[in-house]
Each structure stands twice: as structure tokens, then as C-alpha cells.
A and B are shown apart, each in its own frame.
Chain A
Amino acid sequence: MSERMELSFTLNGAPVCLTTEPGRRALDLLREEFGLTAAKEGCGLGECGACSVLVDGELKLSCLLLAAQLAGRSVVTAEGLGTPDAPHPIQSAFADCGAVQCGYCTPGMTLATSALLAQNPDPDRDAARVALSGNLCRCTGYVKIVDAVLAAGAALRGEKP
């Protein structure tokens, strides 16, 4: 079967090294080897965004990335944004705005928000909608999610709600 490779990269800020099949999906690697289950398989075809992760700051689809493509990169999953005890302001904004229902799309949505706010700290609703256009939500609808993006931006700019 597959030859295995030694793979080193940075995961949520910490260096990691493991031996794995190079053709494995990054999504499976993150979930099965590291127990990081925030990235989820929705469609497995690059159409839903549930598996989104940040790779060197760019939002990418872990279902269409091979393990070998992570070598030397910096990968951030939603677990790397914040924790239940110390949520990131983006995660707090999603909770406060009611932008979460079933939660399946939420990790990807928060990372898409992170990628947007890094480029554009004060987006308008249209910019938020474009930034989230690769992330499908099938339950809340997008109004509260866009509210959360703008609220997160305000929080990160240090503005009072």
C-alpha cells in the first residue's frame, strides 16, 4: 500500500511531527491523529466549507488537501482560535449573536471570519457575505452569522458593543 512519510508542520501554534500516509486527506489526519474534530466533512467535494482550516493564514479546504501538503506549513483549526474556557472574540461573537444552531458549519465559519478580519478589520455586510460565501449553513440562515462577523470585527477593534 502507501509508503509512509515523516511529516512536520505547525498545528495551532505548536510544532508537530508524525509518520503518516502522504496521500491521506488533511481532514482525516487532523481528526484521527490529533483528535481535532472541529473541521468536519460535509460534502467531501470542496463545496460546503465545513472542513475549512487556515494554512499559512489562507482559508483552505482540508478535504481537498493531502497530508503531504501540510509539510512545513502553519495550520490553524477552530480549536486553535480559542477554547470553551477562553473563547476567541470571534467565537464569543457567534455565541452572543445566536449565529450557531446545529454547529456543524460553525468552525469553518469562524475561521473564514478570522481570515477576513485579518485582511479587512472593518468589513461591511457585503464583504462579510463574500468572505463566507464558501461556507454553507443549512439551519440558522446567514443574517445572524453576518451579524456575528461584524460584532467580532468591532470587538477586535476594541469597540464597545
Chain B
Amino acid sequence: MIRRVFRPTDLARLWPLLADGALAMAGGTDLLVRRRGQAAVDVALLEGIGELAEIAAMRTGLVRLGAMASHSALAASRLVTARLPVLARALLALGSPQIRAMGTLGGNIATASPAGDSLPPLYALDALVELASRHGRRRVPLAEVILGPSRTALSPGEIIAAVLVRPPVSGSLQHFEKVGRRSALAIAVASLAAVIETDAAGRVASARLAVGSLGPTVLRCPAAEAALAGQRLTPDVLQQAAGHIRAAVSPIDDIRATAAYRRQVAGNLLLRLAAGE
């Protein structure tokens, strides 16, 4: 339950609120569900801090995605659909129209669910997370921000300000697929994001693969990435890499699927990349 609600309009006004124990609230779609029936807390809304919602291309070539940009705003952004389609696809598979209008990219990271739908694309894009606090800012690779289910490396009083990604070279293959029990409002049983650069002959110059819902955090699969390097995306090559994915994941049994099913699907998702499909 929520006691006081603060609406700071800039970061300078946010820091003292966090120092006094208020929880930072992004879209609230996770936080308000988790707080139900719990002791009353104060929250500081991040939604009034305009700079946190900006989506922009930077002079360095990076794309800066404000942590408070909603999933629907990101999925509708020309910059995202044109340069980061792997992320746009994942965001359109996330939750429902209402959840996409309310939930934010920063919130999806802070929730640190192994099934967070924005996360496999961000892992595959080698995203950096910009953390901000009254002491300044630091940039940390996403994989070092998320430590485990619901566990992050954020320090007390620190928030996620933005996500920074370098768009893959034009013509790269960007792919996302999620398997769930139904297509909307479903927590992923397994998901795969792939960002693959190929040369003129169709051989893989670099492959980045990340899977969701297959371990305590989203995972990159270096062995599978290495198995694709220098190869064409033929069914045989993909089958071999799929084996590496199945060997790398550590899924669990839960109400949505068995570990064995998840492991099988984790590899199968890669087979979709066969040329021509």
C-alpha cells in the first residue's frame, strides 16, 4: 500500500526523496502489484522528470533510450523501429496494450525478471545502462546490472536513467521470438533475441544471441555465437548452434512449462533463422 506520493519534476528534487526512503516508481505495473498487502511506503514518481523519457540518437553513434520511455512509445519510435527492430518486436510481445502504455524500459530492467521481454534484445545489443544518483552517473553493462531474479546492482538512492545501445550495422539480421502460453499477457516460457551481421557472401561476421526465461537471468550464449561465426545460416549450422544453446541454459520447471520443454524450445527458436524463412 502507498502512503505519500511525490511528483518531482527534475532529478535534483528526486534525490532527497530517495534519501528519505521513498521508492522510485516508474510505470508501477510491477511495483504496485508487489506492494499490495505490504507495509505502507512512500513513492516518488519518475514520470514527471522529462529528461528520463527522451529517445535520441547521440553524436557518438549510440542510441539513448530514456528509462521512462514507455514500451509503446519505444515501439512506435522511428529510431527504434528502423535501427533496433529486435527491440521493437520484443516490446510488441510484452504484456498488453495497457501494460505497454504504462510500463517502461527502465522498469523492465529494475524488475529484473528472467522473463522480462525487453531484456533479451538489450543483452543481444550489448546495452549499457546509465545509472544516476545524487553522486553522479555511471554506465554499466546490462549483464552486470541484473544479478538474479528481482536482484540488481543498483545502489540505494540510485535509479536507471537511460539505456544506451549501438545500432547494428545496416542490413544485420535482427530477430526476436517469444513462446508463451498465449500471445498476449503471457510470461515467456522461452524467448530468443538474435543480432547477426553477415558479409556479402552471407557468412556470419558476428552473432549475438540472448535467451530469456531459461535461467535466473537472461543469458548470452557465447558457444552458440562462436558456432555460427564464419558460417552460412544453414539448417545444419543452426542445429549445431542450437545444441550449444540447449547445453548452456539452466531452465526450471514451473506452472508454465517443464525445464525439459524449455530446453528443447530454446534450441528450436534458433532454427527459425534458417535462410529464407
Chain B residue contacts of A5, Cβ below 8 A: 5
Is B4 a contact partner of A22 (Cβ separation < 8 A)? Answer: yes
CA distance A72 to B45 in the complex (A): 15
Let me know if A69 is at the binding interface, CB within 8 A. yes
With contacts A64-B29, A134-B96 taken as known, whether A23 is within 8 angstroms of B4 at the C-beta atoms is yes
Let me know if A68 is at the binding interface, CB within 8 A. yes
With contacts A23-B43, A68-B45 taken as known, whether A134 is within 8 angstroms of B99 at the C-beta atoms is yes
Chain B binder among A44-52, A90-98, A153-161: A44-52
Let me know if B255 is at the binding interface, CB within 8 A. no
Let me know if A100 is at the binding interface, CB within 8 A. no
Chain A proximity mask over B24-62: 1 for CB below 8 Å, otherwise 0: 000011001100100010010101000000000000000
Is A46 a contact partner of B5 (Cβ separation < 8 A)? Answer: no
Is B5 a contact partner of A112 (Cβ separation < 8 A)? Answer: no
Chain B residue contacts of A22, Cβ below 8 A: 2, 4-5
Let me know if B98 is at the binding interface, CB within 8 A. yes
Chain A residue contacts of B43, Cβ below 8 A: 23, 66
Is B4 a contact partner of A3 (Cβ separation < 8 A)? Answer: yes
Chain A residue contacts of B185, Cβ below 8 A: 47, 133-134
Number of A-B contacts (CB under 8 A): 81
Let me know if B101 is at the binding interface, CB within 8 A. yes
B144 to chain A, nearest CB (A): 29
Chain B proximity mask over A63-80: 1 for CB below 8 Å, otherwise 0: 011111101000000000
Nearest chain A residue, comparing its CB with the CB of B102: A60
Nearest chain A residue, comparing its CB with the CB of B95: A134
* B178-228 at interface with A (beta carbon < 8 Å): 183-185
B5 to chain A, nearest CB (A): 4
Is A49 a contact partner of B98 (Cβ separation < 8 A)? Answer: yes
* A1-54 at interface with B (beta carbon < 8 Å): 1-3, 5, 22-23, 44-47, 49, 52
Chain A residue contacts of B28, Cβ below 8 A: 64-66, 69
Is B29 a contact partner of A46 (Cβ separation < 8 A)? Answer: yes
* B70-125 at interface with A (beta carbon < 8 Å): 72, 95-99, 101-102
Chain A residue contacts of B47, Cβ below 8 A: 69
B20 to chain A, nearest CB (A): 14
With contacts A64-B29, A65-B28 taken as known, whether A134 is within 8 angstroms of B98 at the C-beta atoms is yes
7 A-B pairs in the complex with CB atoms less than 8 angstroms apart: A3-B3, A23-B43, A52-B98, A59-B98, A65-B28, A134-B98, A134-B184
Which 5 residue pairs spanning A and B have beta carbons closest together? A134-B96, A23-B2, A133-B184, A22-B5, A68-B5
Residues of A within 8 A of B (CB): 1-3, 5, 22-23, 44-47, 49, 52, 58-61, 64-69, 71, 112, 115, 130-131, 133-135
Residues of B within 8 A of A (CB): 1-5, 7, 28-29, 32-33, 36, 40, 43, 45, 47, 72, 95-99, 101-102, 183-185
Beyond the given A23-B4, A46-B33, A68-B45, could you list 17 further A-B residue pairs with CB under 8 A, ordered by the A residue number?
Answer: A3-B4, A5-B5, A22-B5, A46-B98, A49-B96, A52-B98, A58-B72, A59-B98, A61-B29, A61-B102, A66-B5, A133-B184, A133-B185, A134-B95, A134-B97, A134-B98, A134-B99
